[in-house]
Structure 1
Amino acid sequence: MTTVLTAPRRRTRPARPGTPRNHRPPLLTGAGTLLLLLLALLGPLVAPHSPTEQLAAPFQPPDGRFPLGTDVLGRDVVSRVLSGGRSIVLTALAGTAAAGAVGMAAGVLAAMVSRRLGDLLVRCVDALAVVPALLVVLVMAAGFPGSDVALVAAVALATAPFSTRVLRAAADTVLSSGYVEASLARGDTRRAVLRHDVLPNIAGPALMDTALRLVASLHLTATAGFLGLGQGGAAPDWGRMVSENVPGATLAATPFLAPALLLVVLSVCVGLMAGRLADALGRGIT
């Protein structure tokens, strides 16, 4: 009697025991995150006044015309809050996307080449990781003053090294699994293994890592605005609004509290979404 051996089917990693497959991030957190993102992206369309026009005396208290009062230059705080989130969110999203693309490419490449070449690539990435993120932002902003593209590049350079390490570890785990070894043994090319085995199985860790890097990108972008980096002039920016209006905190609190609270709530919501996403997928990222 002849025993026929069949190649195992490609499969995704099973969920962690005890983790329900239909677990989803809570509705409240998801709705809050979506609402804040919509406020930041669509806010300029519904701003009641020009965010750069001086309309009244500085630090005027809230009234019927200005629900949150005016800022240090007499501009409407509501209009500046509605218009000031778009640049931060778009810059953070662009920087996170660029960092994710670089981290995915470098991490998977380091896992699929020889161990020596992979370690060399990771060491080169580590050389960038030791530079403080804020220093990278300052250098890029000083070299290209007023450039949002430079700020996006700085955010990507500051966060990509960590994504590279996370995704290399995830890819290493998949490549050392039995079904990948079986795929290679039956003659599948490394490109086929990459497409059908590696990428689908590291999609979860990549998604969670992206959410975590988005929180860091939001912090870096807001810090850059607080320091007056990025787009200059009178352009509204939540981080810059905090810096501009802190000296008048004893006269009016809303001009700096409103953007600061929005930044905090947005960061917390995105962080909670990342944590619940990790629970839902049954994996953790360190």
Structure 2
Amino acid sequence: MTSVTAPGRRTPAGLRARRRRPPYLTGGVALLVLALALLGPLTAPYGPNEPVGAPFQQPGGGFLLGTDLLGRDVTSRVLSGGRTIVVVAVAGTVLAGAVGVAAGVLAAMVSPRFGAFVLRAVDALAVLPALLLILVLAAGFPGSDTAVVAAVALATAPFSVRVLRAAADSILTSGYVEVALARGDSKAAVLRHDVLPNIAGPALLDAALRLIASLHLTATAGFLGLGRGGAEPNWGRMVSENLPGATLALAPFLVPALLLVLLSVCVGLLAGRLADAVGRGAA
């Protein structure tokens, strides 16, 4: 007997294909904000620190977003204020990922005692509040974005170490790695051919998740006036310095805040899609 599928009825395979459709909108918005942050300084109509009008002037009259508390063009400062946050967040994420891969793999491969020592060390570091690390390092190296990068990496690396140590340990206890070691393959060969290729997916996913935390911490550092100081534009610093004038003009603090939220949300959604892809690959 031949079964007939009702017309217009969506099959489970069709639903799965729809769910797996590439996130063009989310990726496009994230790329747009990143391009604005990285390339914006090249298109700023005025100098970001140049007073060009009255404080908290409303949009119009040659100022697309008005002026801030010192009469500087908000558009120019928005275009110039995202590069530092993005570069510092990405640098902190890369540094934390490198520490996570190195320490996590070593903790899994060297010996159980060494692995337990590494985990206790990262646990001790993980209990320290991230904001405290940023404040201490920024106070020790005032005006340094490098100190903020180091603080972001120290705050996020412990979680990467735990995740990647678990990923490496699951690979090392698999049958094909045990066979490779039994036939005489060195640990270096197992590391190069078996461990590192198979933790690439989890490492990439972990880096995407840590990037969200790094963006939040970097924006918080800017809000508190840490890192590169003075009048240098920074989306986080723009929020704090223009918040007292919120009743006079919304754009000086609202636009950079919205850009930070938009970038974080888009990166989070892309990380979720990446997690689905890694999960399907593992399955």
The TM-score, its normalising length taken from structure 1, stands at 0.90
- 8 Å Cα contact 1:51/1:76 also seen in 2: yes
Corresponding position of 1:246: 243
Is residue 216 of structure 2 the alignment partner of residue 219 of structure 1? yes
Alignment of 1:1-286 (within 5 A): 23=20, 25-282=22-279
Report which structure shows greater RCO (CA 8 Å, sep ≥6). Answer: 1
Mapped to 2, the partners of 1:257 and 1:224 lie a distance apart of 18
1:51 deviation in Å?
Answer: 0.5
Mapped to 1, the partners of 2:101 and 2:185 lie a distance apart of 22
- 8 Å Cα contact 1:25/1:277 also seen in 2: no
Structure 1 stretches of 4+ with a deviation exceeding 3 A read 22-25
1:113 deviation in Å?
Answer: 1.2
**Counterpart amino acid of 1:45?**
L
Secondary structure of 2:63 counterpart: coil
1:64 deviation in Å?
Answer: 3.7
**Gap regions ≥5 residues in structure 1:** 1-17
Aligned residues with identical type, % of pairs: 75
The TM-score, its normalising length taken from structure 2, stands at 0.91
- 8 Å Cα contact 1:94/1:152 also seen in 2: yes
The root-mean-square deviation of aligned C-alpha atoms, in Å, is 1.6
Deviation track 1:23-43 (CA, whole Å, cap 9, x = no partner) reads 464111111111111110000
Do the aligned partners of residues 19 and 182 (structure 1) sit closer, same or farther apart at CA in structure 2, a change above 3 Å counting? farther
Deviation track 1:3-46 (CA, whole Å, cap 9, x = no partner) reads xxxxxxxxxxxxxxx988x9464111111111111110000000
Mapped to 2, the partners of 1:121 and 1:19 lie a distance apart of 41
Mapped to 2, the partners of 1:197 and 1:283 lie a distance apart of 19
Deviation track 1:186-226 (CA, whole Å, cap 9, x = no partner) reads 11110000000001110000000000000000000000000
**Counterpart amino acid of 1:177?**
S
Secondary structure of 2:199 counterpart: helix
Deviation track 1:158-190 (CA, whole Å, cap 9, x = no partner) reads 100000000000001111111111111111110
Mapped to 1, the partners of 2:57 and 2:30 lie a distance apart of 31
Mapped to 2, the partners of 1:104 and 1:19 lie a distance apart of 33
